Amino acid sequence: MAPYDLVIRGGTVVTAADQSDCDIGVRDGRIVALGAGLDAGGREIDATGKLVLPGGIDSHCHIEQVSGMGIMCADDFHSGTVAAAHGGTTTIIPFAVQQRGESLRRAVDDYRQLGDAKAVIDFAVHMIITDPTEHVLGQELPALIHDGYTSFKVYMTYDGTKLDDYQMLDVLSAARREGAMTMIHAENWDMIRWLTRRLLDGGNRAPKFHAISHAQIAEGEATNRAIALGRLVDTPLLIVHVSAEEAMEEIRLAQSRGLKVYGETCPQYLFLTIDDLDRKGMEGAMFCCSPPPRDKAGQEAIWRGLQTGIFQVVSSDHAPYRFDATGKLKAGPNPSFKEIANGVPGIELRLPLLFSEGVGKSRIDLQRFVDLTATAAAKIYGLYPRKGTIAVGSDADLAIWDPDRRVTVNAAMLHDNTGYTPYEGMELTGWPVTVVSRGRVVIDHGELNADRGSGEFLPCAKSDHAKPLQRLAMELDPKRNFGARILF
Ligand code: URP
Ligand code: ZN
Ligand code: ZN
C-alpha cells in the first residue's frame, strides 16, 4: 500500500515564512511529509515549474445572506464555495446575521445548517451582532464561543445594524472578557445619511453619488472612534474593508502606539476607483459597495498600506448582487444611489488579482501574498496551524499555481452567480490550476470534483490576536483611563 494518498511532486512550496523545492505527502487529508524524493502516493501530481501555496482563506465574504435592504445575495454555500475553490481559496468565513430581536444562537444554528448541506470547501462562521442585549452578550455569546464561533462583526452604520458607542463598549468589553475577535464596519452613519439627504434633495441620484455620500471623513472618523472605544476597554479589534487613506492612517497610528488594531482591505480598493461608479447609465451600480472605492491616489495609498504592513488581511468582501431586478436594480431600472444594493463580487478573483498585480508587478513578495491571503487570517481567527500554512500536521489545503498562465477576465468564466465581474477585461498572469481541500483534489485543471456538503465546519479557537494587551501601563493607570479603573 502506498504510504501516501497523494503526493505533490517537484513544486516550489511557499509559506508566509519561506519557500523551498520539495514534495508534499498527504494522508487522511493532512500533510504528513515534506521533503525531496518522497515514496509514491496513491495519486501523484506533477507540480514541476509550479508554485504550491496554502489554499486561500477568505475571511470576509457574504454568502446566502440577506442584505440590510432585504435582498438575498446571489450566492448560496454551493455556488459561493465552488467559485472560491476555482480561485484557489479552500476556506471561507462568511457571516451568520442576528436580526434585531432574534437569538444569536438561532441565527448561527440556522446558518450553519446551510453550510453543512452545501459547502464544497471548509468553512467557519463569524457572527454579526445587531442586538447586543445582556442575554446575548452574557449567555449566548460565551456558549457560541465555546462551540467555535469566536469572532463577530459589528456595524457603526446602517439603520438596521448600527450600534451606538455605548453598545459598542458593551460588545467590546464582552469580547475582551470572552477572548473573541471583534470586526468593525467603521463608517459614521449620521454623516452618510446627512450627505445622502442633501445629495438627493439636489437631484443627485446617480451611482457615483454613493461614493460621495460615503465620504472618506466618515470612514476616518468612525475608525478613529472604534480604536478609541477599543482602547478604553483594552480590547483588540480588526477594522474591515478599509478603503480610505485616512482610515488606514488611523490604524497605522494605533499600531505605532503598540495597540492590537488589525486592518483588512479588499480587491475593490486596490483595483477599482470612484471613476468606475461614474460609468455610463446605471453601470456604475455594479461598483457600489460600502465603503466605496476612492480616487487613484487613495488606491495607491491602500497599496502602500499592503506593502508597509498596515494591513494584515486581504479578503474579498464578496457581496454578490446581480445587475438585474433580483439585485442591484431591485428598486427599479433607474434607482437612486441610496436604493442600490451595496456590494461587489470577488470571491474567485481575490487571489488571482493580488497574485498578478501584487506579486507579478513586484509590489509584494510571495511570502507576503501568502500571509495576506491565508496565514494571517488563520492566526487572527483561530484556525492556525490547521489552516493557512503548509506544514506537517496541517490540513492538506493547497493551491498549485501556474505563475505564467495568462487569463483575460470575463464574467462567463467565473463560477459565482452574480453574472458580472467588476474586473471584466483585466489581463492577469498566474492562476491556480489545481486546488486541494483536505487532501481531495477539488479543482483539477478547471474541473470541479467535490460534492455538495463535502466541506466541513471549522470550529475556531480563541486566537492570541484577540487577547488583550494589558501592557499599556500608562493607559491602564486609573488616573489616565477611568474605563480601566472600573474594569480592572
Ligand atoms: O458593500 C458592502 N461591503 N457590502 C457588504 C456588507 C458589508 O458591510 O460588508
Ligand atoms: Zn461591512
Ligand atoms: Zn462585508
Summarised one tens digit per residue, pLDDT across range 407-444 is: 999 999 999 999 999 999 999 999 999 999 999 999 99
Domain residue spans in the chain?
56-388
pLDDT of residue 2: 78
β-strand partners of 14: 19
Q: Dump pLDDT digits (tens) for 218-248.
A: 999 999 999 999 999 999 999 999 999 999 9
Give the nearest ligand 1 atom to 62 CA: 5
Q: How far is 226 from 242, CA to CA, in rounded Å? A: 13
Nearest ligand to the C-alpha atom of residue 154: 2
455-473 average pLDDT score: 86
Q: How confident is the model at residue 473 (pLDDT cuts 50, 70, 90)?
A: very low
**Cβ 41 under 6 angstroms from ligand 1:** no
Q: Give the predicted TM-score (pTM) of the model.
A: 0.97
Instruction: Determine which residue's CA is closest to atom 4 belonging to ligand 1.
Output: 343
Answer whether 62 contacts ligand 1 (Cβ < 6 A). yes
Distance, CA of 354 to CA of 349 (rounded, Å): 8
Between the CA of 389 and the centroid of ligand 1 the distance, in Å, is 28
Q: Does 317 contact ligand 1 (Cβ within 6 A)?
A: yes
Ligand 1 atom nearest to 155, measured from its CA: 8
Quick check: CB of 268 below 6 Å from ligand 1?
no
Ligand 2 geometric centre to CA of 107 (Å): 18
CA–centroid distance, 229 to ligand 2, in Å, is 18
Atom of ligand 1 nearest to the CA of 342: 1
Residue nearest to atom 2 of ligand 1 (CA): 343
pLDDT in tens, 88-139: 999 999 999 999 999 999 999 999 999 999 999 999 999 999 999 999 999 9
Ligand 1 test: best mutation among 241, 313, 338, most atoms within 8 Å of CB?
241
pLDDT tens for residues 165-216?
Answer: 999 999 999 999 999 999 999 999 999 999 999 999 999 999 999 999 999 9
- Residue 486 pLDDT more than 90? no
For residue 290, which atom of ligand 1 is closest to its CA? Answer: 1
Amino acid 314: pLDDT = 99
What is the dotted CATH code of the domain comprising 56-388?
A: 3.20.20.140
Task: Quote the ligand 2 centre to 317 CA distance (angstroms).
Answer: 8
What's the CA-to-centroid distance between 330 and ligand 3, angstroms? 20
CA of 284 to the centre of ligand 1 (A): 16
What are 255-277's pLDDT values in tens digits?
Answer: 999 999 999 999 999 999 999 99
pLDDT digits (tens, 9 = 90+) for 59-82: 999 999 999 899 999 999 999 999
Ligand 1 centroid from CA 31, angstroms: 35
Give residue 167 CA to ligand 3 midpoint distance, Å: 20
Instruction: State the average pLDDT over residues 355-384.
Output: 98
Residue found by looking up cell 445594524 in the block: 161
Q: Is 343 in the pocket of ligand 1 (CB under 6 A)?
A: yes
pLDDT value of residue 412: 98
% of the chain at pLDDT higher than 90: 95
Predicted confidence at residue 408, as pLDDT, reads: 98
Choosing from 272, 289, 340 the residue with most ligand 1 atoms within 8 A of its CB, the one to mutate for a pocket test is: 289
Q: Is 60 exceeded by the pLDDT of residue 349?
A: yes
289 ligand 1 Cβ < 6 A:
yes
Q: Is the CB of 265 under 6 A from ligand 1?
A: no
Cα 60 to ligand 3 centre (Å)? 6
Q: What residue's CA is closest to ligand 1, atom 9?
A: 317
| Ligand 1 atom closest to the CA of 158, numbered from 1 | 8
